[in-house]
Chain A
């Protein structure tokens, strides 16, 4: 790797959060029965003409603004011509010549260093239909099925400059892009539902040179982690090709998640899209007032929120970064903080237990049953000493799964911590009586023997004794 530098540009497709499609009133709802959300416009039937969805324009402007782009005040649609079964009209309506947003950037954080990734453009385009291949993959299928529910869904394609130099940077860029668009309410940005998709253009060149190497386009990555891994693999592959004295072939390669490699996909002939202006759709003129109105609807963005968590609540920057990386997490934090005003403790539980369980179960926060009020109530129980921190974690897991009130869980599981000295005194006396050797050890100066005795008390109380109280009481009794 040391003699080569990777040069990566990302193309991200994001589905805009509208009720209806780009040019027709068909529903955009995900996961419906195939071909039940289609009409003459999105089926590309002859004689049909669509009308632009106003919400798409507003969301695209909003997306452009949160990507720090300039907004095109006079823009229009173009046709990109090619034949493929997912594209019933024989052309895709896109913005080739005048994108609605251009010249933007996102700042990412790499090992504490700020790095700016420039964005070339963000343009509106329609999604093609969805292909389902009978034989599992396109190569092994004698025929395929087409579902046009997705045809005509509104997308923006966000194209970065080739200024990304590693899989890690690509991951950070995607995280930032996702968070900004999610906060702005532009898209659901769910990769698993296809509302965010990413292709990567990857090339390598010897360090110190400026000419771009031959690039490959990597597709079929279905998580940010996959994007990062695919890029890392592809960079290594290209370096090996060059080191062997061969040349990198310009081609499209698919990421094979199971094998962790990229594979050449059969190449379409050099695409010639013969783009021209879509004359059936009038142009869009965006007035400064309209743009300002859209700007006024943009809420606090991740960077500002992160700064606020650090400055107003004293959170470490790292914590604030993790919590604000997802809007749901940030809202959860704010809500919990209202009920239990100890930011760092809440942050510890979110970053520890909550994220651990979400990751382990591969869940979204919205699927977990725990509420911010519930977490606050749990933290109060721990603070009062009713339960130990360790028991708290057990209770947390039940809340996460079942959403019950922590007090109720403590009762049901018989978890409450015994701090009552009268009750503990009896148990401690029994333990002392049963372990004369340890008692003798302690009294002859081996102070660490008290640890064993505390352990015995914990065992006798099934872990419910307050260990601090037990320790103090034992020392007191043994000193007599």
Chain B
């Protein structure tokens, strides 16, 4: 067991997920199963292999520094749960 139920609780908290007691048991089990599966990779000899940061053979995908139209203010705020004077309004932060 790499991941304890306490770790799952912490992850759920950080991800703003509300888990039931059964959820916690289930996720602890499945997360450990995933990590055990990945642990197989540790059995391979990778001494001569360059670490891969990305799996696709792409690099330097860049655009020029040119202005593109932004959204209308109305469009930008269309999904805001609450809006006031052109700004997204959010509840108390701390």
Q: Which A residues are within 8 Å of any B CB, using their own CB?
A: 18-20, 24-27, 33-40, 43, 45, 51-57, 74, 76, 81-85, 97-98, 131-132, 138-139, 141-148, 266, 272, 274, 277, 279, 281-285
Query: B70 to A285, Cβ gap below 8 A?
Result: no
Query: B88 to A146, Cβ gap below 8 A?
Result: yes
Looking at A82, A98, A282, the one whose CB has the most chain B CB atoms below 10 A away is A282
B42-56 vs A, CB cutoff 8 Å, 1 = contact: the mask equals: 000000000001111
CA distance A20 to B64 in the complex (A): 9
B2 within 8 A of A: no
From B10, B60, B90, give the contact of A143 (CB < 8 A): B90
Query: B87 to A132, Cβ gap below 8 A?
Result: yes
Given A33-B86, A266-B94: A40 and B53 within 8 A (CB)? Answer: no
Q: Nearest B residue to A19 by beta-carbon distance?
A: B65
Query: B63 to A51, Cβ gap below 8 A?
Result: yes
CB of B43 to closest CB in A, whole Å: 23
CB of A363 to closest CB in B, whole Å: 30
* 30 A–B contacts, CB within 8 A, in A order: A18-B65, A20-B68, A25-B67, A26-B67, A27-B70, A33-B73, A34-B85, A35-B76, A35-B87, A36-B70, A36-B86, A38-B70, A38-B76, A43-B76, A45-B79, A51-B62, A54-B63, A55-B65, A76-B53, A82-B14, A142-B91, A144-B90, A145-B87, A147-B87, A148-B88, A272-B10, A281-B61, A283-B53, A283-B54, A284-B59
B22 within 8 A of A: no
Looking at B16, B73, B84, the one whose CB has the most chain A CB atoms below 10 A away is B73
CB of A268 to closest CB in B, whole Å: 8
CA distance A277 to B56 in the complex (A): 13
From B67, B73, B93, give the contact of A35 (CB < 8 A): B73
B29 within 8 A of A: no
Collect the chain A residues with CB atoms within 8 Å of residue B63's CB.
25, 51-54
CA distance A141 to B84 in the complex (A): 15
CA distance A277 to B58 in the complex (A): 15
B71 within 8 A of A: yes
B15-27 vs A, CB cutoff 8 Å, 1 = contact: the mask equals: 0100000000000
Query: B54 to A35, Cβ gap below 8 A?
Result: no
Collect the chain A residues with CB atoms within 8 Å of residue B84's CB.
145
B77 within 8 A of A: yes
CA distance A81 to B1 in the complex (A): 25
CB of A185 to closest CB in B, whole Å: 13
CB of B13 to closest CB in A, whole Å: 8
CB of B87 to closest CB in A, whole Å: 4
Q: Nearest A residue to B79 by beta-carbon distance?
A: A45
CA distance A147 to B87 in the complex (A): 6
B6 within 8 A of A: no
Given A274-B14, A282-B56, A282-B58: A36 and B73 within 8 A (CB)? Answer: yes
Given A146-B90, A277-B54: A24 and B62 within 8 A (CB)? Answer: no
CA distance A38 to B78 in the complex (A): 12
CB of B68 to closest CB in A, whole Å: 3
CB of B2 to closest CB in A, whole Å: 15
CA distance A39 to B67 in the complex (A): 12
CB of A279 to closest CB in B, whole Å: 7
Query: B66 to A20, Cβ gap below 8 A?
Result: yes
Query: B93 to A39, Cβ gap below 8 A?
Result: no
From B16, B54, B64, B70, give the contact of A54 (CB < 8 A): B64
CB of B82 to closest CB in A, whole Å: 8
Collect the chain A residues with CB atoms within 8 Å of residue B61's CB.
51-52, 281-282
CB of A4 to closest CB in B, whole Å: 32
Query: A53 to B68, Cβ gap below 8 A?
Result: no
From A19, A54, A141, give the contact of B92 (CB < 8 A): A141
Query: A277 to B53, Cβ gap below 8 A?
Result: yes
Identify the 6 closest CB pairs spanning chains A and B, nearest first. Answer: A25-B68, A145-B87, A55-B65, A282-B58, A54-B62, A146-B88
User: 9 new A-B pairs (CB below 8 Å) besides A51-B62, A97-B53, A141-B93?
Assistant: A39-B71, A57-B62, A76-B53, A81-B14, A83-B16, A98-B53, A142-B91, A143-B82, A145-B88
Collect the chain B residues with CB atoms within 8 Å of residue A266's CB.
94
Query: B70 to A39, Cβ gap below 8 A?
Result: yes
From A98, A279, A285, give the contact of B59 (CB < 8 A): A285
CA distance A57 to B61 in the complex (A): 11
Collect the chain B residues with CB atoms within 8 Å of residue A285's CB.
59-60
From A40, A51, A142, A272, give the contact of B71 (CB < 8 A): A40
CA distance A54 to B54 in the complex (A): 20
Collect the chain A residues with CB atoms within 8 Å of residue B76's CB.
35-36, 38, 43, 148
Q: Nearest A residue to B10 by beta-carbon distance?
A: A272
Query: A53 to B65, Cβ gap below 8 A?
Result: yes
CB of B10 to closest CB in A, whole Å: 8
Query: A144 to B54, Cβ gap below 8 A?
Result: no
